[in-house]
Homo-oligomer: A and B are copies of this chain.
Amino acid sequence: MSRKRRVAVLGATGTVGQRFISLLAGHPWFEISALTTSERNVGKRYGDVAHWLVPGGVPEAVADVKLEPTRSELDADICFSALPPDAASEAEAALAKAGHHVFSNVKTHRMDDDVPLIIAEVNPEHAKALEVQRRRRGWTGSIVTNGNCSAIGFALAAAPLHKSFGIERVVVTTLQALSGASYPGVASLDALDNVVPFIAEEEEKMEQETKKFLGAWNGQRFVPAEFVFSAHCNRVSVRDGHTDTVSMSLRGSPSVAEVKERMREFRGRPQELALPTAPKRPIIVREERDRPQPLIDRDVEGGMAAVVGRVQEDAVLGIRYVVLTHNTIRGAAGASVLNAELLQAEGCLP
């Protein structure tokens, strides 16, 4: 690859936009050519506008970039979208129509019949839907989405179990980080010394998207995986890193050892292709009795791995474990960048 592809970050100032920038700074294949924002900040320096919260500060290369509006004439082949849902529903389709390849972190198109919802290790074959998408919509570009942070975290660790055994039923409780609510997001007066046992639409998204991730593309549309799913979603006082407790029944009642083995040996196309953002091990299984913990485990493999612990028999459903993922990296910007690398490597981004 002699020249880097030009990429834009749409909605560049928010918490996910910042993660996109942080992951794209120094990327071997991509270079940032445009940053977009809402109307009132257009024309300002990125460094003056972003309330930057990612450790290490604003990368120097982007601090001086002038913010642009999100419009279809952007100078970029690939667009990473962290737009607010309202803005996304207009802009992303227009960009795809104009030939841009949009990798969207936004919920707007995730459940569309012809829009792939991809975790690069889990369901790369869903990219085949792009042919239908382009034909049906008359686009020269495309939209690929990457799912809600909770859905990605759960589905990545569960994928080898579903592939090997088949999931029947799942009860999952999430302990989700504050950064998932964007900025300003959760008020400190609600977060300090508190738990909020509710996140709007999260339980629904987690169920629907997990079933799409683990389902199939039949050439015409996505066929969701069939299992029974119940999620309790909670917000806790953690900056980054969603922790899930999982109780699950699997076909054939595999042993704890088999479950760990399947998780540990799990590899996908990103690992085969050695993509720049791919974790070496997508799932890390720990044996300590008190891991994973967000503080200690969220940054492992650059924040791109699911860290699993406490894999045990579950009296009610058969298997239980705890899984942690970095919600704004593996669960958002990192997932999207990895999807773009995958499709680029597979030749799907003409």
Complex CA gap A300/B55 in Å reads 9
Partner of A170, one of B232, B291, B294, B316: B316
A15 interfacial by beta-carbon distance below 8 Å: yes
A183 contact set on B, CB distance < 8 A: 187, 189
Inter-chain contact B197/A322, CB cutoff 8 Å: yes
In the complex, chain B residues whose CB is within 8 Å of the CB of A189:
15, 53, 178-179, 183-186, 239
Instruction: Say if the beta carbon of A165 comes within 8 Å of chain B.
Output: no
A315 lies within 8 A of B192 (CB): no
Taking a contact as CB atoms closer than 8 A, the residue among B185, B197, B309 that contacts A292 in the complex is B197
Nearest CB in chain B: distance from A202 CB, A: 12
Chain B: CB-nearest residue to A53:
B189
A239-B193 in contact (CB<8A) = yes
Residues of B within 8 Å of A264, CB to CB, are none
Looking across the interface, which residue of chain B has its beta carbon closest to that of A198? Answer: B290
Contact partners of A243 in chain B: CB under 8 A: 195, 197, 234
A180 CA / B184 CA spacing, docked (Å):
17
Contact B239 A236 (CB under 8 A): no
For the complex, give the distance between the alpha carbons of A293 and B189 in Å.
12
Question: Once the chains are docked, how many angstroms separate the CA of A175 from the CA of B186?
Answer: 19
Residues in B with CB closer than 8 Å to A178 are: 188-189, 192
Q: Which residues of B contact A173 (CB under 8 A)?
A: 173, 232, 245
Q: Within the complex, what minimum Cβ distance (angstroms) separates A69 from chain B?
A: 25
Q: Is the CB of A310 within 8 A of B197?
A: yes
A245 in contact with B236 (CB, 8 Å): no
Selected from B234, B294, B299, B310, the residue in CB contact (under 8 A) with A194 is B294
Q: Chain A, 143-187, contact with B by CB distance < 8 Å: what is the 0/1 string?
A: 000000000000000000000000001110101001100011111
- Tell me which residues across on chain B come within 8 A of A238, comparing CB atoms: 193-195, 237
Query: Digit string of A260-303 for contact with B (CB within 8 Å is 1, else 0)?
Result: 00000000000000000000000000000111111111011000
Which of A179, A189, A293: most chain B CB closer than 10 A?
A189
The chain B residue with its CB closest to the CB of A236 is: B236
Give the residue of B188, B230, B237, B296 whose beta carbon is less than 8 angstroms from that of A186. Answer: B188
Contacts of A294 in B (CB 8 A): 193-195
Q: Does A175 lie within 8 Å of B195, measured CB to CB?
A: yes
14 pairs from A and B in contact (CB 8 Å cutoff): A175-B175, A178-B188, A179-B189, A187-B188, A188-B188, A188-B192, A190-B295, A192-B237, A193-B238, A195-B293, A197-B292, A197-B310, A228-B315, A232-B322
- Chain A to chain B: the 9 pairs with minimum beta-carbon distance, closest first: A184-B187, A173-B173, A232-B245, A188-B191, A198-B290, A194-B295, A237-B237, A230-B316, A188-B188
